[in-house]
Structure 1
Amino acid sequence: MWALLVLLTAVIVVLAVYRKFARTLDVSKQYGGPRALPILGNGLWFLNKTPVEMLQIVERLIAEYGTVFRFWQGPEFTVYVGDASMVENILTNRNLTDKSGEYKFLSDWLGDGLLLSKRQKWHARRKAITPAFHFKILEQFVEVFDRNASELVDVLSTYADSEAVFDVFPFVLLYTLDVICESAMGTSVKALRNADSEYVQAVKEAANISIRRMFDFIRRTPMFYLTPSYAKFRKNLKILHGYTDNVIISRRKQLEDGGQDNSRLEANDENEFGVKKREAFLDLLIKTKINDKVLANLEIREEVDTFMFEGHDTTTSAVAFTLYNLAKYPTVQQKAYEEVISVVGENSAKPVDLSHLHDLTYLDMVIKETLRLYPSVPLIGRRCVEEVTIDGKTIPAGANIIIGIYFMGRDPQYFENPLDFRPERFEGETSVEKFNPYKYVPFSAGPRNCIGQKFAINEMKSVISKLLRHYKFILPPNLEEPILMSELILKPERGIQLQIKRR
C-alpha cells in the first residue's frame, strides 16, 4: 500500500514538473536567443569565466539578439531585458518584487534581510525600516562622512607628496567600510588605518566568494560545499556574524539597562566593543516593532549585515569611477572644484553639513553621469513567481529576469553619443531623467528600489567634495580605459590608477 502511494506521489510530481517545464519551453519560443543544450542550457558559457568575460558575454548577446532575449542557466529559464518600457512595467509590478535566483547565494551571509526577503516579509520589513532613512535621521551621519573623509585625505597625502601613480580603489573601499560600520552599528573598525585587520579581510573575502557563486556554474551546485572556498567562507562568516552579534548584544543590554541620553554624551565616547554613543542604524532596529513585536537579535543581524554589504562596495565603485572621470576630464573637475569652494568656502578643513551637500548641484550631475556609464550594480534580477505578460511578452512562473542597467546607460537609442561624458545631461528641465526615467535606474526603481540611495548620494558628495578641496586628480599619461568586470558590483579589473597633487 505504502509503495503504491509513494509511486503515485512520484508520478504526480513528475507530471507537474513536466507540465511546468513544457509550458516554459512553449513560452520560450516568443523570444530570440542562443541555442541551448538539454539540462545544461547555456551554463557552459559561464563555466570558469572571469568577471570580465561575464560582462562581455552579455554584450555579445545583446548585439546579436537585441534588448530582450532568453537564455538558460542550466534548467533555469532567464529573460534579459534592456528595453526601458518593459523595465518600467517589471520594476513597478508588485508581483515581481522577489529577487532572481542568483541572489540566494548571498543568504548564508545576509540571511533573510531586506535585500533577500520576499513578498509579505519584505513588505513588512521595508515599511518598518523606512523611517530609519528619513532625512532627519540621515543628517546625523553627515558628520561621520566628513570625519572619515578627513582620514582618507590624510592617508592619501603620501601620494600627493611623491606624485606617484597609485590605485585609489582600495583606499576608497576602506573609507566606505569605516563609514558603513559606524553608521550601521556605531562601531569603529578603523579600516583606513588597519587594512589588514581580521574583520576587514573577512568582509572582502566573504563578499568575493558570495558574488562569484552567483555566476559560476559549478559553484551554483552543491559541489561548492566540497571546495576549499567553502571552508574559507565559513571561517569568514564566523568572524562577521560573531562581530555583529557581540555589538547587538552589547547595545541591546545598554538600552535595556536604562538606555543612554545621546544628547548628553560626547560623540567619541565608546564602550568596550567600540560602540559609539550616538544613535546608529542598529539602535533604530532594536526599537523597531513589526506586528507589535520587537525584532529578534538574528533579525537585526540580517538587516545590519545587509546594510553593511550593500553600503560599502556599491559606494566604493561610484566614488572611484567618479574620481576617474574627474581626472579624465579636467574642465569638469575644475567646474566641480569651483562649485565646492563657492558652497563650502576656502577653508579646506571646514566640515560640510547637509545644506552644503544639497547645494552641490553640479557635483550631483557629475555623480549621476558617472552612474550612467558605470552603475555600481550593472545587472539586477527579479524572479517571476506567477506567469505574467508584459509588453506582449509572456514570462513563465519560475523564470529569472535580468535587467541590464549598465547596457541601457550606454544605449544610443536612449542617450545621444552615449560614451561621451556630459554631466549637463542631468541639468534642470532638460534632464534625461524627465523623459522615460526607467532608462536610467542606477538605484533600481519601483517599490523595491534602493532604500539607502539618499544616504549613498550624500556620502559620495561628502567624500568627493572633501578630496577636491585638498587634491587635484590627474590621469597618468598613456593610461588605457579601465577594463570592467561584473561581480554583482561593477569594478575595474586593474583598479583606478591616478595621480594627485595638493591644491
Structure 2
Amino acid sequence: MSIVGAVLVAPVLILLIRWFYLYYGFEKYIKNIPGPTPLPIIGNLHQFGAIADELTEFLGCRKKYGDVFKVRFSLDVPNIFISNRKVTEGILKSNNVLDKSTDYNFFHNWLGAGLLTSTDEKWKMHRKMLTPAFHFKILEGFVDTFNKFGDILLKRLGEEVGRPSVDIYPHIDIIVHLRHNLRAQEDSNSEYVNYVKEILRIVYDRTSMITKAFDLTYLFTSDFSLERKVLRVLHNFTNGVIASRKKELAQNGADSSESDTETEIKKRLSFLDTMLQYKEEGGIISDESIREEVDTFMFEGHDTTASAISFTLFCLANNPHVQETVIQELKSIFGDHKADASSHDLNEMKYLEMVIKESLRLYPPVPLIGRHILKDTEIDGYSFPKGVDVTIFVHALHKDPTVFPNPEKFDPERFSFENQNKGYAYIPFSAGPRNCIGQKFAMLEMKSVISKILRNFELLPSIPEHNPKLTGAIILKSQNGLCVRLKKRKC
C-alpha cells in the first residue's frame, strides 16, 4: 500500500475502531432498550439529521418503540430518550445525573460554564449565589420593564391590524432587561438578536451533521470562521453591558444616602447586580464567569420566552371561548381602566396562568432536556450505565393520555386549583435540582405581555387557517410561523 493510500485508510480505520468500541462497550448494558438500528460510524444520523424532520422522527420512534428508546448519533455515546414520567422523575432527582449531556458541549464557545452548561461544584456555587436574584421581592422590580416592552410591542402590533394573516413570532422578540435596552422589538434587524439566531443554528448543526461534529473537520467548514465572528459580537456586547452596569453601580454608590432602607436596596438588585456585588464583597468569581452567566441568561430568557408567548397567543386566537374567559378575568381586575399591570395585578391573573401552563404543555419551549449519566444508575427497572446520555422527551411526556386525557385538546382547566399537581408528567421548566432558576420571572413576564396584548387587541384565527409545522431545533418553534389576525379591542 502506498503512503497516500495509508494516509487515506488510517482515519477510516480509526473511526471504525471508535465505533465498535462505543457500540459494543455500551450495548451489553442497554441491549434490552429498543431503538432504530444504527449504521456503522454515522449511527442514526441519516434518520435525524434534518432539522425539519427531527421532532417528527423522535415522535415516530416514541410511537414505535415506546416511552424509553435508544438512538445513536454518529461516533458518540448512546442517547436514551425518555418520556416515561416515573423514569423522568428518577433521572431529574438523581445526583448521578446532574451533568448536562454531551451535546451541550457545543454551547461552550458561547456560554462557557454558565448555569446551563456548568457541572458539579461550579454549578452548585453559582446556583446558590444567583438564587436570591430571583426572590419575588426583586422580581417585582421588573414589572415596569415588562410594561415598557409591552408598550413597544403594542405599537408594532397596531400596524398589523386588519391584515388577514400576521406572523406574531417576529414581534415577540423579548430580551432579558439588565437595565440595558437591546431595542430588539424596535429594530427587527438587531445585530445581537440575529447573531443569537446564527449561533443557535451553528450549535444545532454541530449536533446533527457529522462533518461539523468533530473539531478537526469543523475547522474546514465555513461555520468555523463565522462562529468566531459571531462570538466576538456577542461577547463584546455582553462585556459592554457588564462594564456599563459596573459604572452605574459605582456612581449610584457614590450618590447614595443613608436614608435608603435595606428593602429598597434589595429590590434594586438584579441578576447582574448580584454577581457584581458578590465579587465586590470578596466572592470568588471571575469577569469571564460573570459574562458566561449573563450570556446564558440572555439566551435562555430570549428564545424560550418568545416561543412561549407566541404559542400562547396562537392558542388564544384559535380558542375564542378561552380568550373570552381571560378577558372577563382582566375586566374584573382592571375594570375599564388602561392602567399598567402591577405585580399584585399579575398575581391575580389565575386563569391566564392556567392558559399559559396549558400552552406550555402542548408547546414546551425546550422540547428536549439532556443529561449525562455519571454513575451506573438503576431507575424503575432500567439500567443506565455510566457514560451514556439521556434525553427527557418533554414534548412527548406532556401528552401522556393517562395524565392528560385527550392530550391534543387545548384545555386550561387541566391546571385549575384542584388539578394542579401533575408531578413529573409536566416539566416545562425542567424539574429537580437543575430546574429553571428563572421560571417565576418568566411567568410574570408572560402574564404581563399577554395581558397587555389582550386588553388592546382581539386575537382571531388567520385567513387562511394556519397549521404550525413544529421544529425542535433546541427551542420549539414553527417553521411556517405562528399566524393570527388582530382586531383592535373597543373596550
Normalized against structure 2, the TM-score is what?
A: 0.89
Residue 395 of structure 1 aligns with which residue?
384
Residue 166 of structure 2 aligns with which residue?
166
Deviations 1:430-489 (A, max 9, x none): x1x424x10111110000000000000000000000000000011123413211001111
Q: Is 1:337 matched up with 2:327?
A: yes
Q: Is 1:487 matched up with 2:488?
A: no
Gaps of 5+ in 1: 1-14, 265-276
Asked whether the equivalents of residues 70 and 81 of structure 2 are also in contact (C-alpha less than 8 Å), the reply is yes
Q: Which amino acid in structure 2 is aligned with residue 92 of structure 1?
A: K
Residue 469 of structure 1 aligns with which residue?
455
Output the CA distance in 1 between the equivalents of 2:469 and 2:19: 42
Residue 313 of structure 2 aligns with which residue?
323
Q: Is 1:201 matched up with 2:194?
A: yes
Asked whether the equivalents of residues 186 and 278 of structure 1 are also in contact (C-alpha less than 8 Å), the reply is no
| Structure 1 vs Structure 2 CA RMSD | 2.4
The verdict on how the C-alpha distance between 1:454 and 1:262 changes in structure 2, with shifts beyond 3 A counting, is: farther
Residue 53 of structure 2 aligns with which residue?
53
Please report how far the alpha carbon of residue 139 of structure 1 lies from its aligned counterpart in structure 2 after TM superposition. Answer: 0.7
Residue 295 of structure 2 aligns with which residue?
305
The verdict on how the C-alpha distance between 1:52 and 1:261 changes in structure 2, with shifts beyond 3 A counting, is: farther
The verdict on how the C-alpha distance between 1:257 and 1:148 changes in structure 2, with shifts beyond 3 A counting, is: closer
Residue 377 of structure 1 aligns with which residue?
366
Asked whether the equivalents of residues 91 and 447 of structure 1 are also in contact (C-alpha less than 8 Å), the reply is yes
Please report how far the alpha carbon of residue 66 of structure 1 lies from its aligned counterpart in structure 2 after TM superposition. Answer: 0.3
Question: What is the number of equivalent residue pairs in this alignment?
Answer: 464
The verdict on how the C-alpha distance between 1:335 and 1:301 changes in structure 2, with shifts beyond 3 A counting, is: same
Residue 64 of structure 2 aligns with which residue?
64
Please report how far the alpha carbon of residue 201 of structure 1 lies from its aligned counterpart in structure 2 after TM superposition. Answer: 2.2
Q: Is 1:77 matched up with 2:63?
A: no
Please report how far the alpha carbon of residue 20 of structure 1 lies from its aligned counterpart in structure 2 after TM superposition. Answer: 7.7
Output the CA distance in 1 between the equivalents of 2:98 and 2:284: 25
Q: Is 1:421 matched up with 2:423?
A: no
Q: Is 1:229 matched up with 2:218?
A: no
What pairs up with 1:211-290 in 2 under 5 angstroms?
211-222=204-215, 223-256=217-250, 259=253, 279-289=269-279
Deviations 1:187-206 (A, max 9, x none): 11212222223223222222
Asked whether the equivalents of residues 128 and 290 of structure 1 are also in contact (C-alpha less than 8 Å), the reply is no
Please report how far the alpha carbon of residue 102 of structure 1 lies from its aligned counterpart in structure 2 after TM superposition. Answer: 1.0
Please report how far the alpha carbon of residue 345 of structure 1 lies from its aligned counterpart in structure 2 after TM superposition. Answer: 2.9
Asked whether the equivalents of residues 45 and 208 of structure 2 are also in contact (C-alpha less than 8 Å), the reply is no
Deviations 1:146-197 (A, max 9, x none): 111011001111112x434211001002xx12xx1x2xx3211212222223
> Quick one: percent identity of the two aligned structures?
40
Q: Is 1:129 matched up with 2:118?
A: no
Residue 156 of structure 1 aligns with which residue?
157
Deviations 1:283-342 (A, max 9, x none): 111012599524221110000000001001001111000000100000100111111121
Please report how far the alpha carbon of residue 127 of structure 1 lies from its aligned counterpart in structure 2 after TM superposition. Answer: 0.7
The verdict on how the C-alpha distance between 1:460 and 1:106 changes in structure 2, with shifts beyond 3 A counting, is: same
Tell me the secondary structure at the aligned position of residue 131 of structure 1.
helix
Normalized against structure 1, the TM-score is what?
A: 0.87
| Aligned partner (choices 406, 413, 433) of residue 395 of structure 2 | 406
Please report how far the alpha carbon of residue 410 of structure 1 lies from its aligned counterpart in structure 2 after TM superposition. Answer: 1.8
Tell me the secondary structure at the aligned position of residue 487 of structure 1.
coil
Output the CA distance in 2 between the equivalents of 1:18 and 1:415: 42
Tell me the secondary structure at the aligned position of residue 392 of structure 2.
strand
Tell me the secondary structure at the aligned position of residue 160 of structure 2.
helix
Gaps of 5+ in 2: 1-16, 259-266
